Amino acid sequence: MSRSPKRVTIADVAAKANVSLSTVSRVLNGNATVDPAMAERVRTAAAELDYSASPLARSLVLGRTQTIAVVVPDLGNPTFQEILRGLSRAAGTAGYHVLVADSAETVDEERVLARATRRRTDGVVLCAPRMDDAALASSLRELSPVVVVNRATADAPVVGADYRSAFSEILHHLHRLGHRRLVFLSGNPRSSSNAARTAALAAFAAAHPDVMITEIPCGVDVDSGARVAGEVRASGATAVLAYNDLVAMGVMGVLRRDGMRIPDDISVAGFDDIPFSRWTSPTLTTASVPSRELGARAWEAMERALTDASAPPTADWLLPVVALRESTGPAPA
């Protein structure tokens, strides 16, 4: 926005075309019907001056910025990267720009960050898995229009992946294979996606009293998985459900290094289906979360909210696809 070598404004075009400002505005916006000859004069003048309206001034007077914000807790997380990607592409196609805000995991700042970005945009896509419910509720009001990702609420449109069902599916798969002693490597205890897994676990446990399930607090990356491999062995479990693929790869690496065979001695399942999970040895059983599609859906929801503010909030839960691969097999006798 440095108007360094004095930018060309609508007035310059008007002068060059010998018309009024309003006429220029009209032809450039395709409004009203203006004399063809004049219109042509304006168009060539604009072209020669390489003129285009200032988005800023336009935004101020029109009350919309053609921009939406997306706030995420961590741009380093592949899930949010994919969501951002899908969102950015979809919004871009519709002529909208995207402002990103990374709260750097500081939950306290999340709300003010969201507010700040909201004021420079027409709406915000909120990824705030760890924000507490009260803060979320009041945020939703001040952020509107807002669409919430991966988190249930009745006060705003929601798009998300049904982690719970997918996780449950993996549980049943292991059960069918004969596993009765399972261990779950949990991620961040305060995240909603961890809660979804825990919920699936609880429901499964209630329905299958014969299965013993242990939870080991772990983390979300390869190193965390590697770190708890010892605990996993000590637990005597025949199958391990990792919080995600990275964790699964971490345990798998150490387990194999220690001489265990997968899945003969122990089965391992991940979550997320990162590209590399089909290239580990053995290949990894996991669930494919459609994060990019989620981003695209988030845009659709936002577009709806933008055009019809009074429309009732919708919820759009996508079911992850479970990929059964080599890392899970029959429980050892």
Partner DNA sequence: CTGTTAGCGCATTCAC
Partner DNA sequence: GTGAATGCGCTAACAG
Residue 108 neighbours by CB under 8 Å, 6+ apart: none
Helix-strand-coil split of the chain, %, nearest 5: 45, 15, 35
Q: At what angle do helices 78-93 and 291-307 cross, to 10 degrees?
A: 40
Do you find a cis peptide bond into 320, omega within 30 degrees of 0? no
| Interaction between residue 61 and DNA (CB under 7 A) | yes
* Residue carrying the six token digits 């006798």: 333
CA distances for 8 relative to 26, 52, 295, angstroms = 18, 8, 37
Residue 22 touches which of DNA, its own copies, none (Cβ within 5-8 Å per kind): DNA
- Toward its own copies, which CB reaches closer, 139 or 168? 139
Work out which of 15, 43, 58, 292 binds DNA, going by CB under 7 A. Answer: 58
Residue 28 touches which of DNA, its own copies, none (Cβ within 5-8 Å per kind): DNA
| Interaction between residue 246 and its own copies (CB under 8 A) | yes
x/- track of binding to its own copies for residues 189-228 (CB under 8 A): --------------------------------xx---x--
CB 236 within 8 A of CB 311: no
Question: Of 48-107, which residues contact its own copies (CB under 8 A)?
Answer: 52, 54-57, 59-60, 63-65, 67, 75-76, 81-82, 84-85, 88-89, 92, 97-102, 104
Work out which of 136, 146, 228, 249 binds its own copies, going by CB under 8 A. Answer: 249
In the structure encoding, which two tokens stand for residue 46, read together? 């604009």
| Interaction between residue 22 and DNA (CB under 7 A) | yes
| Interaction between residue 35 and DNA (CB under 7 A) | yes
Strand, helix or coil for residue 18: coil
Q: Residues in contact with its own copies, total (CB under 8 A)? A: 53
Q: 160: burial class by Cβ within 10 Å (0-12, 13-18, 19+)? A: buried
| Interaction between residue 49 and DNA (CB under 7 A) | no
| Interaction between residue 30 and its own copies (CB under 8 A) | no
| Beta strand residue intervals within the chain, DSSP E | 67-72, 97-102, 124-126, 146-149, 158-161, 181-186, 212-217, 239-242, 267-269, 286-288, 315-318, 321-323
Residues of this chain that interact with DNA (CB under 7 A) are 3, 7, 9-11, 18-26, 28-29, 31-35, 38-39, 51, 53-54, 56-58, 60-62
Residues of this chain that interact with its own copies (CB under 8 A) are 1-4, 52, 54-57, 59-60, 63-65, 67, 75-76, 81-82, 84-85, 88-89, 92, 97-102, 104, 116-117, 119-122, 144-145, 221-222, 226, 246, 249-250, 253, 256, 275-276, 278-279, 281, 309
